Structure 1
Amino acid sequence: MKDIFTSLKNSLDQGESTVLATVTYSSGATPRGAGARMLVGKDGRLAGTVGGGAVEYRSIQYSQEVLKEKQSRTHNFHLTKNDIEDIGMICGGDATVNFLHLDAGNPSLRELVDVALEKIKDHSYAWLITDLSESDSLGLALYAPAEKNSNQQVDIFLGYPSDHIVTQALLADPGQIYHRAEEIEVEGHNLFVEELVIPGFVYIFGGGHVGQALVPALAAVDFAPVVLDDREEFVNPDLFPSAFDVLLADLDNIAETITITDRDYVCVMTRGHTNDLEVQAQVLKTPARYIGVIGSKKKTKTVHNRLISRGFTEEELARITAPIGLNIGGKTPSEIAVSITAQLIQHRSADYKQGN
């Protein structure tokens, strides 16, 4: 999303209208699922992708037609055998793509883009709403709920007129907005609602080989990894180009550096048992949604017993996943990183299924 909104901001600064192509439905062997987005300008694709191949090629063509007509539309793609060969697939599928015209002369769009980029930068809660209507589309909107312990104390809703019946219905029941990529109906308007950014950080304690392999794996699937270490040589940003942040921290007092919330994940992989123990003892006192610790079963048992001796209960220690990661037999740092990333995806998906 960052690339799309950065490109959209650049286009608006140049006074150029664009089209936002969004996959709102897919089935079978389509290249990308619902929520895939691509921004198209007069010269072609600017950012994002709807999957490449035939669907993307035709989506660019449709987008440029929408630019000329200044009229949003939706198109249903049915992938025939020849189309499937074009994108390297072996079975059929269908995809629905909405083409939303974004007028560079719309002042409310500029404000929406600025706030969207701010939310992406802060990695805080926000949802993007796309009106799929062709004749009376309200266009693009953004909703960001007020958050405790933040500078935003009131809800933000941008894009649609404040007195419109759709706006009023959404704000009267914001719960209907909280989806990752779903279509909802509100007052006769079909709206595609998607989380702008998946909130929360993955705090990685330890910048060693596994941490260095884990950061790009997490970033590739929309987590925001933050690396913490007490060794200066391991908090070099050059080691973690895809990290959200890299911090030098006192591992005996992590609260000096970060505040862990109930939307954050913790991965403990420091250089030794003592540091692991101290970090776990502190993290257990936070509302972290996930705590995982790297290490052998022997090490895990040793640290477990030491935490018990410090007064932690078995119920409290049950929050810890150790050894961290899915059991796929990984041995190398890269393999372990894959197993950890897969487990965090599994955990994140379960949260959404439960409505969290």
Structure 2
Amino acid sequence: MRDVLSHLADLLDSGREALLCQVVETKGSTPQKAGALMLVDPGGCQVGTLGGGCVENEVKQKAVRRLGQAGAERHTFVLDHDYAWADGLICGGKMVILAEAFRGPEAASYFRAYRDRIDAGLGLVEAVAVDPERCGADAIGARWLFGDEADLVASLPGGAPPEAVRSLVEPIDRRPRLASRGGVATLPVLPRIALVIVGAGHVGQAVARLAIEADFDVTVVDDRAQYANPDRFPGAKRIVVGPIEEVLPALPITPHTFALVVTRGHGHDQEALYHLAPTPASYVGLIGSRRKIRLIFEGLRGLGVAEGHLARVTAPIGVPIGSQTVPEIAVSVVAQLIARRNLGPEAVPTNDFGRAGGRPPEPEPELETESAEALGS
């Protein structure tokens, strides 16, 4: 999405025209969900995707015809056997896509505001008129951009949204969902998650690589400069080298922060968890065997860490996929982080050392977690 919005804003700022195709509604199984964007410039260059195949090609052909025209056009595709057999899109779902050619300073201002919020990692909800008669909009494709508190940030064309539109937009902290109702598509983008990885060993490095690709803002913390450096973490937003007990208390931790403890030893793990468990971070995870985790929790209780803080720690971490190697462990861990980010804590169990969650399937992952610790040293 960031690439699409960046190219779109650049085209409009330079005075050129840009074709934007956006999925605004889906039902059933589809290759992309509502909110997916595809940009086509006048030269035919494409950024983003609607899922590929015949749908994308047909949308592109129809969208090009809108060059020089005003307003949006709605296209509905049913991905049945007859329509999409050649491309394998026989999932039976339905996609509604809006296509519009944008131009001029008003559109540039709107999409620049959209891009700037995405680049800053801020949450937003875009409301798009799909059926103007039902929602009271002046035209199909009218857009309104709302901030974290459902405050109006920008509109295209300018002006306040109809009450029927505003009533459907919720503040970001209520985790608004993709929806199409009342003639309006509400398309939320949750704030980008800052992931703090404590431990720059092999596991931390592998997790960071995947997490960056999955659009987390990664901060790496370690007391060893030979491990925590840009050569080993080229995509990290921040690398902090120093003693854990000094670095972690100084880091900004918010509800939009995830923290992962994958250090080289039990003592460092306990120190990191001592500082992270009481923070507002919405996910705190600890790698290790059950025996190690139990010992660390007992030590933290002895240091006065409250049971409520320990209960919210995810340990052991990762989706139980039988992982053995470092890359497999990283896939398991990042899959859990994505699920927690996209679905919320209620959809992902925490741990059986606190008060929530459940025990992963047997056998216990003793070997995988202990080997991960050794590789992280």
Which TM-score band (shorter chain)?
Answer: 0.7 to 0.9
Residues 147-204 of structure 1: CA distance to partner in whole angstroms, max 9, x if unpaired?
xxxxxxx9452124675352x665677527863422243xxxx332222354331211
Are 2:174 and 1:181 equivalent residues in the alignment? no
Residues 55-86 of structure 1: CA distance to partner in whole angstroms, max 9, x if unpaired?
11111112112224333111111234365343
Could you tell which deviates more after superposition, 230-239 or 156-165? Answer: 156-165
- For 1:241 and 1:199, the matched residues in 2 are separated by 19
State the match for 1:35 in structure 2.
35
- For 2:242 and 2:165, the matched residues in 1 are separated by 42
Could you tell which deviates more after superposition, 172-181 or 45-54? Answer: 172-181
Q: Please, which of 280, 305, 308 is the counterpart of residue 312 of structure 1?
A: 305
Count of matched residue positions in the alignment of Structure 1 and Structure 2:
340
Deviation of the 1:112 alpha carbon? 2.8
Q: Contact 1:29–1:89 (CA<8 Å) still a contact in 2? A: no
State the match for 1:84 in structure 2.
84
Residues 3-53 of structure 1: CA distance to partner in whole angstroms, max 9, x if unpaired?
011101221132112122112233455322222211122222431110111
State the match for 1:150 in structure 2.
none
State the match for 1:48 in structure 2.
48
Could you tell which deviates more after superposition, 55-64 or 191-200? Answer: 191-200
Q: Contact 1:206–1:269 (CA<8 Å) still a contact in 2? A: yes
Q: Please, which of 148, 158, 164 is the counterpart of residue 160 of structure 2?
A: 164
After superposition, the Cα gap between the structure-2 partners of 1:329 and 1:353, relative to the gap in structure 1 and judged at 3 Å, is closer
State the match for 1:340 in structure 2.
333
Q: Please, which of 126, 148, 153 is the counterpart of residue 145 of structure 1?
A: 148
Q: Contact 1:120–1:197 (CA<8 Å) still a contact in 2? A: no
- For 1:269 and 1:176, the matched residues in 2 are separated by 34
Amino acid at match of 1:116: Y
Deviation of the 1:291 alpha carbon? 0.9
State the match for 1:123 in structure 2.
121
Q: Contact 2:76–2:94 (CA<8 Å) still a contact in 1? A: yes
Could you tell which deviates more after superposition, 2-11 or 191-200? Answer: 191-200
- For 2:241 and 2:129, the matched residues in 1 are separated by 44
- TM-score normalised per structure 2: 0.80
After superposition, the Cα gap between the structure-2 partners of 1:352 and 1:174, relative to the gap in structure 1 and judged at 3 Å, is farther
- For 1:163 and 1:113, the matched residues in 2 are separated by 15
Alignment of 1:236-315 (within 5 A): 236-255=229-248, 257-315=250-308
Q: Contact 2:143–2:157 (CA<8 Å) still a contact in 1? A: no
State the match for 2:95 in structure 1.
95
- For 1:218 and 1:60, the matched residues in 2 are separated by 32
Are 2:26 and 1:26 equivalent residues in the alignment? yes
State the match for 1:60 in structure 2.
60
State the match for 1:226 in structure 2.
219
- For 1:176 and 1:283, the matched residues in 2 are separated by 27
User: Which portions of structure 1, spanning 4 or more consecutive aligned residues, are displaced by more than 6 angstroms?
Assistant: none
Q: Mark the runs of 5 or more structure 1 residues left unpaired by the alignment.
A: 147-153
State the match for 1:17 in structure 2.
17
Q: Contact 1:127–1:195 (CA<8 Å) still a contact in 2? A: yes
Could you tell which deviates more after superposition, 2-11 or 75-84? Answer: 75-84
After superposition, the Cα gap between the structure-2 partners of 1:246 and 1:132, relative to the gap in structure 1 and judged at 3 Å, is farther
Residues 272-294 of structure 1: CA distance to partner in whole angstroms, max 9, x if unpaired?
21211111111122111111101
SS of 2:318's partner is: coil
Identical-residue share of aligned pairs (%): 31
Q: Mark the runs of 5 or more structure 2 residues left unpaired by the alignment.
A: 133-137, 348-377
- For 1:83 and 1:68, the matched residues in 2 are separated by 30
Q: Contact 2:249–2:275 (CA<8 Å) still a contact in 1? A: no
After superposition, the Cα gap between the structure-2 partners of 1:173 and 1:78, relative to the gap in structure 1 and judged at 3 Å, is closer
- For 2:324 and 2:91, the matched residues in 1 are separated by 35
- For 1:78 and 1:121, the matched residues in 2 are separated by 34
- For 2:88 and 2:224, the matched residues in 1 are separated by 47
Q: Contact 2:98–2:141 (CA<8 Å) still a contact in 1? A: no
Q: Please, which of 106, 109, 118 is the counterpart of residue 107 of structure 2?
A: 109
Deviation of the 1:346 alpha carbon? 2.9
Residues 297-336 of structure 1: CA distance to partner in whole angstroms, max 9, x if unpaired?
2211221111011012333211111111122211111111
- For 1:216 and 1:235, the matched residues in 2 are separated by 13
After superposition, the Cα gap between the structure-2 partners of 1:175 and 1:93, relative to the gap in structure 1 and judged at 3 Å, is closer
- For 2:127 and 2:2, the matched residues in 1 are separated by 16
- TM-score normalised per structure 1: 0.84
Q: Contact 1:39–1:46 (CA<8 Å) still a contact in 2? A: yes
After superposition, the Cα gap between the structure-2 partners of 1:162 and 1:15, relative to the gap in structure 1 and judged at 3 Å, is closer
Could you tell which deviates more after superposition, 132-141 or 63-72? Answer: 132-141
After superposition, the Cα gap between the structure-2 partners of 1:87 and 1:213, relative to the gap in structure 1 and judged at 3 Å, is farther
Deviation of the 1:126 alpha carbon? 2.0
